[in-house]
Amino acid sequence: MTSFSIHGVGVSSGIAIGQAHLISNALLEVVHYQLPMHLIDDEIKRFSDAIATVKYDLEKINSSLRKNAPAELSAFIGTHLMMLSDKSLSEAPKKIIQNEKCNAEWAIKLQMDEIVEQFEQIEDNYLRERKQDVIQVVERVIKVLLGHPSQLATEQQLSALSEEHKLILVAHDISPADAIQFKQHEFAAFITDVGGITSHTAILARSLNIPSIVALQKARDLIRDGEIIIVDGKQGVVIINPDKNILTEYKLRQEQWELEQQKLQRIKSTKAVTLDGINIDLFANIEVPDDVTAVKAAGATGIGLYRTEFLFMNRREMPDEEEQFIAYKKVAEAMKGDVVIIRTLDLGADKQMNPDTVVTCANPALGLRAIRYCLSEPQIFHTQLRALLRASHFGNIKILVPMLSTLSELRQTKLLLERAKLSLRKQGVLFNENIALGGMIEIPAAAINAEAFASELDFLSIGTNDLIQYTLAIDRTDDAVAHLYNPLHPSVLKLISMTIKAGEKLGKSVSVCGEMAGDAKLTKLLIGMGLRQLSMHPSHILSVKQQILHSQMSALSANSRKILNLTDIEKIEPLVAKLNRTADLRLNPRP
């Protein structure tokens, strides 16, 4: 058996090893046949019975939910029950059976196609994705019509499985109702062919804390029932038929990961303070409003980066002011007065609005992206600024501008912000007049000139992902040069240090919101360099906090200064490793 791997989008971290349990895709099994007149009534009854069975099943699942089950679960089942009761699903197919004299499966599938088409016209990204719910409900009905046994493994099957041979669900898509049952049977993970970051499958995976990967595209075709697979939810990788060595390696990683997670939970509500009493703000990065649940679960004390461009992606029309306002307000209110730093649109390069309308240019990362794009489209920017200002009345919102390279971009931004404020004032709309404006330092030109930016801004946030890309001239999306991407390059560290010093000099806060902030191996170095605010994916908060709790700032500062004076990565790397082992040893680089 050959071992191979496939890649998707990891939506929930963790490692699972188990046997593949393939879930059939009932929709693909639907055939069309004609019925003689005298069987039509029976067929309609068969259809009604199937709807009733599914309703009964869903209600049963709903009432069996454990008390401490995430609130979303019950809400999802509720949505499916509501859809089932809607005439367009429960009645319209009967008419189709009658008029077309066709089988019930075909009738409900025809009706589903029509509803899905209507959903596809909806502009709102979130609502559009809800078409998946319609498909999932219909699939359930079809399974009953086709007489499929429950998709779940039987109790005997499950109890026959040893600990390390738990089942991993492999599906085209998984409905929330299925997922709940899967959870109750303690499946190890689930992976799907479809799904985006706002799909219910992804939302559920995060709230259930099961390793999960979506958008694998061909998992169901490539994986066979019963095969041993490894799911690495963090990396978004599935390894099929791993050999002995890989299996041993992943078992070890899994044990370590699980042990660490258990231990980390203990510090969830502990303040992130060093041994010598220095407080560090640990904020979270989010992409969609629903991510706030994970932010809270991780014990983050604010949102340091809300990447608003996800609201603009995979659609033909821009979200209007109201849609944006609702999203920003939702996050601000959910954070109940804690800081919410919302970044203005960072479209361009690898983040295009609509894949069909990608504007090709020779060097997209160096092109019209982020603030450059917004300044070239003042109306789009104006709409976003108004939405942000309006939402600022409902929470502690700060605005962050990406990709600044010149002061003139900053000044134009300020003018546009004033214009947006003026328009709201004229309409008597409330907003925070003193809303803080920060800038991302992610282009070397901005880091070198950080003092000038700090003097005209309220705060700075270092985007190390781009800062490294532009400093080292490495396209962050290009695998061929990925090995050159190194946050410990002395030039990168120097630019970060210059930015921190600029902030200190002018009394402006400086944070890091790139991936570096969430890498626990770099925490001691970063705080030693003077950073007091780090913003990262919620799943990294606890491991970073743990580093902080074991840090002695006085020692870290001195040792970080030594590291900053080095010019050779090969000397820097071992010293950073040493810094992590203990905070107060005397670091002497090898000559």
| Cα first-last separation, the chain | 50
Question: Please, what is the minimum distance in Å from the beta carbon of residue 347 to ligand PEP?
Answer: 11
Nearer to ligand PEP (CB atom), residue 389 or residue 513: 513
Nearer to Mg ion (CB atom), residue 348 or residue 463: 463
Tell me if 372 contacts ligand PEP by CB under 6 A: no
Q: What are residue 188's phi and psi, to 5 degrees? A: -80, -30
Nearer to ligand PEP (CB atom), residue 22 or residue 525: 525
Nearer to ligand PEP (CB atom), residue 393 or residue 476: 476
Block residue for tokens 């907003």? 431
Please choose, out of 20-28, 41-49, 459-467, 562-570, the segment that lies near ligand PEP by the rule CB under 6 A. 459-467
Question: Please, what is the minimum distance in Å from the beta carbon of residue 254 to ligand PEP?
Answer: 28
Give the residue, chosen from 20, 202, 210, 513, that forms a contact with ligand PEP under the rule CB under 6 A: 513
Please choose, out of 38-46, 74-82, 243-251, 460-468, the segment that lies near ligand PEP by the rule CB under 6 A. 460-468
Strand 9-12: give its sheet, edge to edge.
Answer: 4-7, 237-240, 228-232, 15-22, 166-171, 189-192, 212-214, 9-12
Tell me if 546 contacts ligand PEP by CB under 6 A: no
Q: Token pair of 51, please?
A: 């709807």
Question: Please, what is the minimum distance in Å from the beta carbon of residue 403 to ligand PEP?
Answer: 8
Cα distance between residue 285 and residue 476, in whole Å: 19
Tell me if 463 contacts ligand PEP by CB under 6 A: yes
Three-state secondary-structure class, residue 455: helix
Question: Nearest to residue 111, comparing CAs of 173, 53, 51, 24?
Answer: 51
Residue type, 20: A
* Run of H or E including 240: strand 237-240
Give the number of C-alpha atoms closer than 13 A to the C-alpha of residue 185, restricted to the C-beta side. Answer: 25
SS (H, E, C) 7-31: ECEEEECCEEEEEEEECCCHHHHCC
Nearer to Mg ion (CB atom), residue 10 or residue 463: 463
Tell me if 94 contacts ligand PEP by CB under 6 A: no
Find the largest Cα–Cα distance for the chain: 94
Nearer to ligand PEP (CB atom), residue 305 or residue 417: 305
Sign of the C-alpha dihedral computed for residues 401, 403, 405 and 408 taken in this order: negative
Nearer to ligand PEP (CB atom), residue 487 or residue 528: 487
Q: Token pair of 506, please?
A: 């002018």
Residue type, 416: L
Tell me if 538 contacts ligand PEP by CB under 6 A: no
* Sites for ligand PEP among residues 54-73 (CB under 6 A): none
Active site residues: 200, 513
Residues 516 and 493: beta-carbon distance below 8 Å: no
Tell me if 98 contacts ligand PEP by CB under 6 A: no
Nearer to Mg ion (CB atom), residue 189 or residue 342: 342
Tell me if 463 contacts Mg ion by CB under 5 A: yes
The percent of the chain in helix, strand and coil, each rounded to the nearest 5, is 55, 15, 30
Cα distance between residue 288 and residue 498, in whole Å: 32
Where do runs of H (alpha helix) occur along 266-377? Answer: 292-297, 321-334, 370-376
Question: Please, what is the minimum distance in Å from the beta carbon of residue 433 to ligand PEP?
Answer: 28
Angle, helices 71-85/200-208, rounded to nearest 10 degrees: 150
Q: E strands within 445-555? A: 459-462, 509-512, 533-536
Binding mask 426-455 for Mg ion (x = CB under 5 A): ----------------x-------------
Q: Total residues contacting ligand PEP (rule CB under 6 A)?
A: 10
Q: Token pair of 145, please?
A: 């019509």
Tell me if 348 contacts Mg ion by CB under 5 A: no
DSSP 8-state assignment for residue 87 = H
Question: Please, what is the minimum distance in Å from the beta carbon of residue 463 to Mg ion?
Answer: 4
Tell me if 514 contacts ligand PEP by CB under 6 A: yes
Binding mask 464-493 for ligand PEP (x = CB under 6 A): xxx---------------------------
Cα distance between residue 52 and residue 43, in whole Å: 14
Residues 215 and 190: beta-carbon distance below 8 Å: no
* Sites for ligand PEP among residues 290-319 (CB under 6 A): 305, 307
* Run of H or E including 124: none
Residue partners of 238: CB distance under 8 A and separation at least 6: 5, 6, 7, 8, 191, 213, 216, 219, 223, 229, 230, 231, 232
Question: Please, what is the minimum distance in Å from the beta carbon of residue 513 to ligand PEP?
Answer: 5
| Whole-number CA gyration radius for the chain | 27
Give the residue, chosen from 129, 346, 409, 519, that forms a contact with ligand PEP under the rule CB under 6 A: 346
Q: Which does 464 bind (CB under 5 to 8 A by kind): Mg ion, ligand PEP, none?
A: ligand PEP
Cα distance between residue 49 and residue 58, in whole Å: 14
Question: Please, what is the minimum distance in Å from the beta carbon of residue 327 to ligand PEP?
Answer: 17
Nearer to Mg ion (CB atom), residue 275 or residue 366: 366
Binding mask 59-98 for Mg ion (x = CB under 5 A): ----------------------------------------
Tell me if 466 contacts Mg ion by CB under 5 A: yes
Q: Which does 518 bind (CB under 5 to 8 A by kind): ligand PEP, Mg ion, none?
A: none
Tell me if 442 contacts ligand PEP by CB under 6 A: yes
Nearer to ligand PEP (CB atom), residue 192 or residue 449: 449
Question: Please, what is the minimum distance in Å from the beta carbon of residue 526 to ligand PEP?
Answer: 13
Q: Which does 307 bind (CB under 5 to 8 A by kind): ligand PEP, Mg ion, none?
A: ligand PEP
Question: Please, what is the minimum distance in Å from the beta carbon of residue 324 to Mg ion?
Answer: 20
Q: Give the number of other CB atoms < 10 A from CB of residue 95.
A: 12
Please choose, out of 225-233, 378-386, 462-470, 502-510, the segment that lies near Mg ion by the rule CB under 5 A. 462-470
Question: Please, what is the minimum distance in Å from the beta carbon of residue 123 to ligand PEP?
Answer: 24
Interface residues with ligand PEP (CB under 6 A)? 305, 307, 346, 442, 463-466, 513-514
Interface residues with Mg ion (CB under 5 A)? 442, 463, 466
